[in-house]
Structure 1
């Protein structure tokens, strides 16, 4: 079950009453890589294999599905075996996600080379569709939701962590064989450096959010040639970087 009920007292207009409220059920998930590297974080016990794939890609531990030898999920425990070639580089020692407790200070940001374009109207409609698909959020208000779009296909995942939600959709896209250079990610949440680092590492050219960018995120977007779109609300948005990828005439 992803949703559970808890006891609460509702207070409104000076009156209190006992009630049951729906909340998202999160668990402590542990990902162990090659039996030595371990990461524990709070997440929904759902799409954990996709999360593991996305995490491995986003943390620069693998650069292809072939580098992932095996992923086993046993309840809240995930065990992954990978080719450890990239683990020997300095850029995988620290994690870009908040779960790892550190934000990776990557030494170089390789610009994403992609001529992929999206119509402005599509971005607006996808954010609305994202909210419509956020079933746990609608019931509890306790999740972030992320989606990835490729050639008309739209994969949506939810989690208590915006990082995990994005890991899950990128992992699902990698498993499905999407060309990430022709995808875009849309999600609910701010856009600081740790989120931009994820899309730069996997070569996704466009990141879209209904929330605000941070200065650190703007810097990574500029260096990484990422199109960053924020404050997508109603029929408006702000376009910050690599603006040529968004067709504003349609």
Structure 2
């Protein structure tokens, strides 16, 4: 999608070195995207207006609602209205109140409360520190819209050979994860030996999505929370943060970063 579709020019006053000037500046466009599930409104997301299909299916997948493609009976997307109408079979994990904007978190909590904790991620994936630094650097290089606006988050899916397979930007850090995992879901890209790269702070909500997506390693330029670290330890996820230059912090399962 072009930058004109994702952004809009606005008149601003810029002050620099005590000098004021009126200029046009590019800012990120924000729109709403509503998911209808079996003819009922499920959730409305605020997002960057692109990759609606991946966002919608990624949201359903990381929420635990959508498990396999065969569950989808029909799917229609109206880009102009910002609407996805999906009909599915097997939606037993839906909470009673499906209008909640915290739906995905509610489903995760409900599943854990019913004795269905996340499966432990066990994989032989191992990479060296140099690959960590180069992958983060490449993700930043690809973040063209962030460079123009400073108003979006970035996320990527990479393999152990150092190739970035998928990339997304969005005003919401949660949406970037959903777009990546949704695209992987649609195109049958295995994630069990892959790496998630992100520019954002890693919250437990972000990590829950990654665990549901079965990704064993997440790397971020930012920091995690204490709850995120504990969850990563329990789920078998290697959590790497504060990647700057040739420095990083490893918070859980360090065996996947070879020294």
TM-based fold match above 0.5: yes
Paired with 1:206 and 1:99, the residues of 2 have a C-alpha distance of 27
Offset, 1:133: 0.8
Query: Residue in 1 aligned with 2:78?
Result: 74
Query: Residue in 1 aligned with 2:65?
Result: 61
Q: 1:138 aligned to 2:147?
A: yes
SS in 2 for 1:240: strand
Paired with 2:42 and 2:77, the residues of 1 have a C-alpha distance of 14
Query: Residue in 1 aligned with 2:210?
Result: 199
**Is the 2:56–2:182 Cα contact (8 Å) retained in structure 1?**
yes
SS in 1 for 2:202: coil
- Picking from 205, 216, 220, the partner of 1:209 is 220
Query: Residue in 1 aligned with 2:23?
Result: 19
**Is the 2:156–2:164 Cα contact (8 Å) retained in structure 1?**
no
SS in 2 for 1:170: helix
Query: Residue in 1 aligned with 2:105?
Result: 103
Unaligned regions of 5+ residues in structure 2, if any?
Answer: none
Paired with 1:153 and 1:21, the residues of 2 have a C-alpha distance of 30
Q: Deviations over 1:193-242 (max 9, x none)?
A: 10111111121111111000001111110111111000111111111111
**Is the 1:229–1:239 Cα contact (8 Å) retained in structure 2?**
yes
Offset, 1:153: 4.7
Residues 1:56 and 1:247: Cα distance change in structure 2 (over 3 Å): same
- Picking from 195, 211, 214, the partner of 1:184 is 195
Give the 5 Å matches for 1:110-129: 110-129=119-138
Offset, 1:73: 1.3
Query: Residue in 1 aligned with 2:92?
Result: 88
SS in 2 for 1:115: coil
Residues 1:175 and 1:194: Cα distance change in structure 2 (over 3 Å): same
**Is the 1:211–1:230 Cα contact (8 Å) retained in structure 2?**
yes
- Picking from 29, 34, 42, the partner of 2:38 is 34
Q: Deviations over 1:169-216 (max 9, x none)?
A: 111112221111111111111111101111111211111110000011
Structure 1 stretch 106-115 or stretch 224-233: which is displaced more? Answer: 106-115
Paired with 1:94 and 1:161, the residues of 2 have a C-alpha distance of 26
Residues 1:66 and 1:117: Cα distance change in structure 2 (over 3 Å): farther
**Is the 1:192–1:218 Cα contact (8 Å) retained in structure 2?**
no
Q: 1:44 aligned to 2:48?
A: yes
- TM-score with structure 1 setting the length: 0.90
- TM-score with structure 2 setting the length: 0.87
**Is the 2:43–2:103 Cα contact (8 Å) retained in structure 1?**
no
SS in 1 for 2:49: coil
Paired with 2:26 and 2:127, the residues of 1 have a C-alpha distance of 37
